[in-house]
Chain A
Amino acid sequence: MNRYTRDQMAARVARDIRDGAYVNLGIGLPTLVANHLPKDREIILHTENGLLGMGPAPAPGAEDPDLINAGKQPVTELPGASFFHHADSFAMMRGGHLDCCVLGAFQVSVGGDLANWHTGAPEAIPAVGGAMDLALGAKSVYVMMEHLTKGGESKIVTQCTYPVTALHCVSRIYTDLAVLEVTSQGLRAVDIVDGLSLPELARLSGVPING
């Protein structure tokens, strides 16, 4: 079966981010999107620990422990950047000022519910960070994930079985098999990887998908 590579997925997400957008990229797979943002668009990256106008990782030796991203990795500030405290940073999310966030996920439901913070396993130490605020706050919530678990189960589900992060919040799902839009009539396939049919995609997903 053909699959989109991680870089192809990231480039596909980047294509859907418009010029002038304020964007938060989640930890993990979504951070790859930064490498694919079109050069002819001015896109401002937000990191919830207090920076708008975040730039790429610094050159080796130029790291500054006071200049990090939400994953606590060293970053840089671009001309036009601004720093702010945590209440302002989350006002940017919760107040609906961010245009878009890109998040990883364990599961997404056909209704757009997101599960990405906790497996619910009894021995797991729960940690939520900014996941719940981000999922609710951005105008568009894009999820980027593998379509299937390592065991071959669909991560797109009728109802999330993992604890949810937020309800009815996901706009689009970008996987290694397809790009899906969450609509009031259910999921709609925007793109499908070459060689995979819509019925086959729906069968693998275990949920109805409209063309």
Chain B
Amino acid sequence: MIDKTMATVAEAIADIKDGATVMIGGFGSAGMPSELIDALIAQGARELTIVNNNAGNGDAGLALLLKARRVRKIICSFPRQTDSWHFDTLYRAGEIELELVPQGNLAERIRAAGAGIGAFYTPTGFGTLLAQGKETREIDGRHYVLEYPIRADFALVKALAGDRWGNLVYRKTARNFGPIMATAARCTIAQVQRIVPLGALDPEAVVTPGIFVHRVVCVPAGATGATHGAAA
């Protein structure tokens, strides 16, 4: 029998080692798997490379992982925000490496990793600082930059519901990076608001098929301050 469900967030992230590359879903706070991140902070892994759209907001989730100085490098598109003070402090002190990637290239590099693509030419970034030193090519009169996939050891994503096979459905704009990150990691860990019996999710509506998901852990809405009790 396949059963990808785990009893606790601590068990789900227990084997993330020092130096691992970890994708974390979410756009700002929407879709951020805060309880998995809290468990990772408690677990203590260091020297992590984190892939996320942002670099933490306020004093929760990813921002706290940065504050605890567990992150060596962050790959993201939009670190600087009004509430990114923990990142800002580390960056100004030279204590964190930043790889800044245009948001669409970030998404496509993650997608490419999950889809087994070796590299791809994208028009985004051509002629800018962010394409300096990168291979370029003109195809049918348009200029492109060669970009490589971003793979990870682990992906931490948040979804609305999942089953023991790892099928996932998401909620509104909290979906964002979850489905593509789930495909791009050696081990994908999903926190879901509820675990449902096999067959309860409409196969036509499954967003992430279970083949991409390795562990599912239930974090009910409202279990901590970081989630909310939306009626969806």
Contact = CB atoms under 8 A, between A and B. Distances in A.
Interface of A: 47-51, 64-68, 72, 77, 83-87, 89-90, 93-94, 118, 124-133, 136-137, 163-167
B103 A83 contact: no
Given A86-B180, A132-B124, A163-B129, A47 B173 contact: yes
B224 interface: no
B80 A126 contact: yes
Interface string B213-232: 00000000000000010101
A83 B30 CA distance: 13
B28 to A, nearest CB: 4
A57 to B, nearest CB: 14
A200 B53 CA distance: 44
Most B-side CB within 10 Å, residue of A50, A68, A89, A131: A50
Sort A-B residue pairs by CB-CB distance and give the 8 closest, nearest first: A90-B104, A133-B104, A86-B107, A127-B80, A66-B174, A129-B78, A132-B102, A87-B111
B129 A118 contact: yes
B103 A164 contact: no
Interface in B68-101: 77-81, 87-88, 91-92, 98, 100-101
Interface in B39-70: 53
A51 B173 contact: yes
Given A87-B111, A129-B77, A66 B171 contact: yes
A129 B103 contact: yes
Given A129-B102, A133-B104, 7 more contacts: A66-B232, A72-B30, A85-B107, A125-B88, A126-B100, A133-B105, A133-B124
Nearest to A132: B102
B180 A66 contact: no
Interface of B: 27-31, 53, 77-81, 87-88, 91-92, 98, 100-108, 110-111, 122-130, 170-180, 207, 228, 230, 232
Nearest to A89: B107
Given A127-B80, A133-B104, A133-B124, A49 B180 contact: no
Contacts of B108: 87, 90, 94
A77 B230 CA distance: 15
Given A49-B30, A50-B173, A85-B180, A132 B107 contact: no
25 contacts: A48-B104, A49-B27, A49-B30, A50-B27, A50-B173, A66-B31, A66-B172, A67-B30, A67-B172, A68-B28, A68-B30, A85-B178, A85-B179, A86-B103, A87-B111, A90-B104, A125-B92, A126-B100, A127-B78, A128-B77, A130-B104, A132-B102, A132-B124, A132-B125, A137-B124
Q: Is the interface of A mostly helix, strand, loop or mixed?
A: loop
Contacts of A136: 123-124, 126
A133 B107 CA distance: 11
Contacts of A127: 77-81, 100
Contact of B80 (A48, A84, A125): A125
B177 A86 contact: yes
Given A87-B108, A128-B130, A136-B124, A49 B102 contact: no
A64 B100 contact: no
Instruction: Name, among B29, B79, B104, B232, the residue most crowded by chain A CB atoms within 10 Å (CB to CB).
Output: B104
Contacts of A89: 107
Contact of A49 (B87, B106, B129, B176): B176
Best-buried of A47, A84, A125, A136 by chain B (most CB within 10 Å): A125
Contacts of B27: 49-50, 68, 72, 86
Contacts of B179: 85, 87
A75 to B, nearest CB: 8
Contacts of A77: 172
Contacts of A165: 128
